[in-house]
Amino acid sequence: MTTGELREPLTDQGRTAGDVLLDVSGLTVEFERRRQPPLRAVDDVGFRVRRGTVVGIVGESGSGKSMTANAIMRLLPSGGRIVSGEITFGGTPLLGLREEAMRQMRGKRIAMIFQNPMTSLNPAFTIGRQMTDMMVHHERLDRDAAMTRARELLQSVGIPAVDRQLAAYPHQLSGGMRQRVIIAMALSCRPDLLIADEPTTALDVTIQAQILELLDEIAADPARAIVFISHDFGVIARMCDEVVVMYRGKIVETGPVARVLSEPEHPYTRALLGAIPRPGQRGQRLATVEDQIGATQPLGARR
């Protein structure tokens, strides 16, 4: 169940794995339902994330990958609760923290990037204001220092004409630009762990490639780790050192990304890989997961 088997310092992507930053074990999340037994969205999930590595969580919609991320942040949608399990982050058991202490963790030590850059920024404030607010809040910086920092951050994520972007409102930026801004904001308090929930899904392919490249650079920091959630094996293969395959709330397979992709052990992983269209298959009907292992009945889609 753990990915700890990999002891070699050098990972599939040539990164150096450090000590364990995040240790999730036995995580189970349930949602209350009316006149029905609770829905088990995440079932006995466990994995480890070492510093300096990128761990991918892959699965279909409703497989529980986003809920796993939300559970780590302790930000489950209403009706959801963590029934059992442990989440240890940098030695601290997160589930034992008081809400106030957890709030200090969020944004400062664990940051999150969301799927849709078009709606992840507050439309009422300029980019500069949103970026500095966060630093003023968490790092107790003054406005000027925060603004300088924001400028540096935007430059580091490859945004041109930084001063103009700082004064702009979110609706004035393109999707790719916004996702860069969101990534810059996520990095602003130098978090140890970055959770990226489908960070490129809403972007077109060229922009997607640029954002992946940027995340790749961010992953180069040996002190940091990234949990990368995606339904796209191509993106997972490009980004991750290790991969966790989820199906109906459970982990079906886990291991170094090259191994899982080339010699999948579990039929579901094989089915998922079999459902990827390939050049040269032109004219043939694309095999779905259902074709290969029967109806899958996802437990429930994201909200």
Partner 1 sequence: MHGSLEVTPTVAVDAPAVSAESRLGEAWRRFAGDRLALIGLAIILVVTLAAIFAPLVAPDDPNFQYEGLRRAAPGVEGHLLGTDEVGRDILSRLIYGGRLSLFVSVTPTVIAAVIALLLGLVAGYAGGKTEQVIMRALDVFFAFPVVLLAILIAGVLGPGPRNQIIAIVFILVPYMARVVGTQVSSLRRQDFVEAARATGAGPVEIIGHELLPNVIGPLIVYATVLVGFMILVAAGLSFFGLGASPPASDWGYMVNTGKGTLSTSPHVVLMPSIMIVLVALAFTFVGDGLRNVLDPQGHAA
| Class of residue 37 by CB neighbours under 10 A (exposed 0-12, middle 13-18, buried 19+) | exposed
Binding footprint of partner 1, residue count (CB under 8 A): 67
208: Cβ contacts below 8 Å, ≥ 6 apart: 200, 235
Per-residue tokens: 38: 């609770």
Closest contact distance (angstroms) between CB of 191 and partner 1 is 10
Q: Residue 227 interacts with partner 1 (CB under 8 A)?
A: no
Q: Closer CB to partner 1, residue 1 or residue 258?
A: 258
Are residues 267 and 38 in contact, defined by beta-carbon separation less than 8 angstroms? no
Nearest-10 Cα torsion for 65, 218, 49, 227: 0
d(CA 10, CA 83): 36
Give the footprint of partner 1 on residues 229-268 (CB under 8 A).
Answer: 232-235, 237-238, 261
Are residues 154 and 94 in contact, defined by beta-carbon separation less than 8 angstroms? no
**Residue 252, phi then psi, degrees to nearest 5:** -100, -25
Find the binder of partner 1 among 80, 176, 199, 256 (CB under 8 A): 176
Find the binder of partner 1 among 2, 16, 116, 292 (CB under 8 A): 116
Q: Residue 136 interacts with partner 1 (CB under 8 A)?
A: no
Closest contact distance (angstroms) between CB of 75 and partner 1 is 5
Count of Cβ atoms closer than 10 Å to residue 183 Cβ: 24
d(CA 26, CA 176): 36
Closest contact distance (angstroms) between CB of 52 and partner 1 is 22
Closest contact distance (angstroms) between CB of 9 and partner 1 is 26
Q: DSSP secondary-structure letter at 285?
A: P
Q: Residue 137 interacts with partner 1 (CB under 8 A)?
A: yes
Find the binder of partner 1 among 28, 210, 292, 296 (CB under 8 A): 210
Find the binder of partner 1 among 53, 132, 165, 269 (CB under 8 A): 165
Q: Closer CB to partner 1, residue 17 or residue 245?
A: 245
d(CA 247, CA 52): 26
Q: Residue 223 interacts with partner 1 (CB under 8 A)?
A: no
d(CA 229, CA 251): 14
Give the footprint of partner 1 on residues 40-69 (CB under 8 A).
Answer: none
Find the binder of partner 1 among 92, 119, 148, 155 (CB under 8 A): 119
Closest contact distance (angstroms) between CB of 233 and partner 1 is 6
Strands 250-256 and 225-230, how do they pair? unpaired
Stretch that binds partner 1, among 7-15, 56-64, 114-122, 291-299 (CB under 8 A): 114-122
| Class of residue 127 by CB neighbours under 10 A (exposed 0-12, middle 13-18, buried 19+) | buried
Q: Residue 279 interacts with partner 1 (CB under 8 A)?
A: yes
The site for partner 1 (CB under 8 A) is made up of: 73, 75, 78, 103-108, 111-112, 114-116, 118-125, 133-134, 137-138, 160-161, 163-174, 176-177, 180, 182, 185, 200-201, 205-210, 212-213, 232-235, 237-238, 261, 276-279, 303
